[in-house]
Amino acid sequence: MKKTLVALCGLIAALALFGIMGLTFVDVLGRKFLSGSIPGALELTEILMVVVIFTSLPLVALSGEHVVFDSLDRWLPAGVRRVQQALMELLSAGAMAGLAWLMWGKAGDLMSYGETTSQLKMPLGAFVYLMSVLLVLAALAHLVVLLSPVPVHHAGAPEDGRAAST
Please say whether the beta carbons of 157 and 164 come within 8 A.
yes
**How many alpha carbons fall within 13 Å on the CB side of residue 118?**
4
Whether 166 maps to a domain, the answer reads no
| 51 closest CA partner among 27, 23, 15 | 15
Please say whether the beta carbons of 115 and 122 come within 8 A.
no
Q: What is the pLDDT of residue 151?
A: 66
Whether 127 maps to a domain, the answer reads yes
Q: What is the pLDDT of residue 166?
A: 39
Q: What residue spans of 34-160 are helical by DSSP H?
A: 41-63, 78-113, 124-147
Q: Give the gyration radius of the chain's Cα atoms.
A: 20
Q: What is the pLDDT of residue 53?
A: 94
Where in the sequence is the domain holding 31, given as residue range(s)? 2-147
Whether 141 maps to a domain, the answer reads yes
**What's the pLDDT tens digit per position in 52-75?**
999 999 998 888 777 776 677 678
Whether 16 maps to a domain, the answer reads yes
**What's the pLDDT tens digit per position in 17-54?**
999 999 999 999 988 888 888 888 899 999 999 999 99
Please say whether the beta carbons of 155 and 78 come within 8 A.
yes
Distance CA 63, CA 66 (A): 8
Whether 154 maps to a domain, the answer reads no
User: What is the DSSP secondary structure assignment for residue 74, as one 8-state letter?
Assistant: G
Whether 157 maps to a domain, the answer reads no
Domain count, the chain: 1
What is the value of pTM for the model shown? 0.81
Please state the φ and ψ torsions of residue 71, each to the nearest 5 degrees: -65, -30
Burial class (CB in 10 A: 0-12, 13-18, 19+), 162: exposed
Q: What is the pLDDT of residue 2?
A: 78
Whether 162 maps to a domain, the answer reads no
pLDDT confidence bin for 163, thresholds 50/70/90? very low
Whether 8 maps to a domain, the answer reads yes
